[in-house]
Amino acid sequence: MPAQRNITVIGGGVTGLATAYALLRDGHAVTLLERNGDVGEEASFANGGQLSYRYVHPLADAGVPRETLSWLLQAGSPISLRLRADPHQWRWMLAFLRACNSTTNARNSKVLLSLALRSQDELGRWRTEGLKDFLWRQPGKLVVYRNAAKFRKAAASVSNPELEQVLSPSDCARVEPAFAALAPKLAGGIFSPADEVADCHRFCLSLRDAMTAMPSFTLLRGQASLGAGANGRCDVMVDGRAHDTDLVVLAAGVGSRQLARPLGFDLPLYGLKGYSLTANSPAGTMPDVSVTDYDNRVVYARLGDALRIAAMVDIGARDASINPHRIARLRALASETLPQAGPYDTARPWAGLRPATPSGVPIIARTRYPNLLLNVGQGALGFTLSAGSALRVRDLIRGTATPSLTDAA
């Protein structure tokens, strides 16, 4: 057991909470600093609910720029782009374009897969040891493809048929009968039987409750700020007052970029807005298996008695306000694809900014400030990667980690 340190984790989303929990379990005294009234209220609140451990390919890939351009000409497309007079947006997009090749995608997918599988193992350990009440299930995940070329590409990338099964359209209907009516429109699907679903917000609350019962945990609400201090260290302020701590872990999602700027960092994070609906669907109408409609980029996941439908990427959104046109499109897609689980006009809408790096690989690293670590940039995989990312921070503090996933800016 390493020597106990006083560690402050900034950010009460799923990444920060998991980090705090892992460090508490490692014997440290942890303060979790959150600016909102409670934890999990931003990007972790109503995401898709998929724990997609084996399908972790970054958005940046060969062919994506061309596909995105075609989408931009279509109303209600999965990706929207609003260009702004913002140098950071342009730098992020140029870096994203540089990552859009098969070699880079394959390398980054391998990194993410390793982190995801470690995350799955650790979350299983946490559940076995008592963490509960977040609607966890292991129904598997089915990715269905309407486009034959995209399906062939996905099928060719399957390396372990036991973990990822290539299915015909009729097989897709067998695996998830709720989508049987869609089978004539499908080219095929990939089924990952070991993948899981859970409610991310309830997971955040479960972590909060478990930690609150630990005497070495403090939940502190307030606005953090960082600055360069004496001896090359990072100083922390909370609501303008000095906060004493041995180490700082910055895990504040898309807000981490603003917090890090006074330290001389320009973190390559950009908020990609995503949307969801939560519907109280009639009993027997919801899919049991988690399903991704790949061509429309829509996720369907049953979370307890509710159906979560999540989709879309808006690049260039200023905030997490709900765009009614995007929500209307999501309602229409759900009605067309899974009509029996509707009507969707009363489904609860949500939007959130997912903190993404251009490559899709998170930044989990020490910095030039000896008391500051980063755990940011998990993007749409925040829930999936949360436990594994937390273990990497733990290992960095222990001094047992391999070189950082991404060097700090």
In a domain, 188, yes or no: yes
Structure tokens at 326: 């995007």
Residue type at 259? L
Contact 387, 22 (CB under 8 A): yes
Choose among 127, 138, 123: nearest CA to 302.
Answer: 138
In a domain, 149, yes or no: yes
- Indicate the pTM of the whole model: 0.95
Structural domain count of the chain: 1
Q: What are the distances in angstroms from CA 45 to CA 270, 351, 385?
A: 18, 9, 16
Task: Give me the mean pLDDT over the 352-370 stretch.
Answer: 97
Cα distance between residue 243 and residue 224, in whole Å = 9
Q: How do residues 238-252 score in pLDDT, each as one tens digit?
A: 999 999 999 999 999
Q: So what's the pLDDT on residue 408?
A: 43
In a domain, 75, yes or no: yes
Q: How do residues 150-190 score in pLDDT, each as one tens digit?
A: 999 999 989 888 889 999 999 999 999 999 999 999 999 99
Task: Give me the mean pLDDT over the 92-102 stretch.
Answer: 95
In a domain, 365, yes or no: no
Task: Give me the mean pLDDT over the 292-302 stretch.
Answer: 95
Instruction: Find out whether the peptide bond into 343 is cis, omega within 30 degrees of 0.
Output: yes
When the pLDDT of each residue in the chain is averaged and rounded to a whole number, the result is 94
Q: How do residues 8-25 score in pLDDT, each as one tens digit?
A: 999 999 999 999 999 999
Backbone angles phi, psi at 312, to 5 degrees: 75, 150
Q: So what's the pLDDT on residue 404?
A: 58
In a domain, 69, yes or no: yes
In a domain, 127, yes or no: no
Q: So what's the pLDDT on residue 403?
A: 64
Q: Which residue has the tokens 């598997």?
A: 140
For the cut 60, the answer to whether the pLDDT of residue 137 exceeds it is yes
Domain CATH number, residue 300: 3.30.9.10
Count of other CB atoms within 10 angstroms of residue 309: 26
For the cut 50, the answer to whether the pLDDT of residue 407 exceeds it is no
In a domain, 94, yes or no: yes
In a domain, 25, yes or no: no
Q: Which domain holds residue 182?
A: 54-100+136-196+269-356
